Amino acid sequence: MKIKLKMINHLILNGKKETGEKEFCKNFKNLQKKSRKCSNKIFQLALISSTSVFRLHKISLKKRKKKKVQEIPGFLRNQNNRISLALKFLLQVTKHGAYSLSKNLSTEILLLSKSKSGNLSIKTEKQKAVLTKKHLFRYYRWR
């Protein structure tokens, strides 16, 4: 249940962990009500579909007076980094809505598990942007 703890940590508001736990429980209750499948499996499917493999690192080159920002594509090797990035992406999309966070989050998770969410197109656009800048891979710092 490391994913559960990560999700709660990302849901923390104003440094209060209790609010994150409450939102997480509300979210899973809404998932259970909306679908007859196990909410853990639905959450795993949503995470798998929203994880990305590449990420753009922004590095500013401060030579002389001109400051140039260069975006270098990077490969996310660590599984924990991929999961946390997927959780951040999921929460970033659901926090900007008219309804409560738990309702938005549960509907978004359901749509992602069915691969019908509009956010998948955003993810694919980001991946395409990374692939267009693949000539900058030579500057990538392999750690």
Q: What is the pLDDT, as a whole number, of residue 140? A: 65
Task: Report the number of distinct structural domains present in the chain.
Answer: 1
Range of the domain at 51: 2-139
SS3 content of the chain, % helix, strand, coil (to 5): 60, 15, 25
Q: What is the pLDDT, as a whole number, of residue 142? A: 61
Residue 143 has pLDDT above 60, yes or no: no
Specify whether the CB–CB gap between 87 and 6 falls below 8 A.
Answer: yes
Going through 4-115 in order, the beta strands assigned E by DSSP cover 54-61, 68-75
Chain segment 49-69, per-residue pLDDT in tens: 888 888 888 878 777 777 888
Per-residue confidence at 97, pLDDT binned at 50, 70, 90?
Answer: low
Q: What is the pTM of this model?
A: 0.78
> In this structure, what CATH number is given to the domain that contains residue 74?
1.10.455.10
**110: how many CB neighbours lie within 10 A of its CB?**
21
Helix (H) or strand (E) holding 110: helix 101-113
**∠ CA 84-89-92, rounded to 5°:** 120
Per-residue confidence at 19, pLDDT binned at 50, 70, 90?
Answer: confident
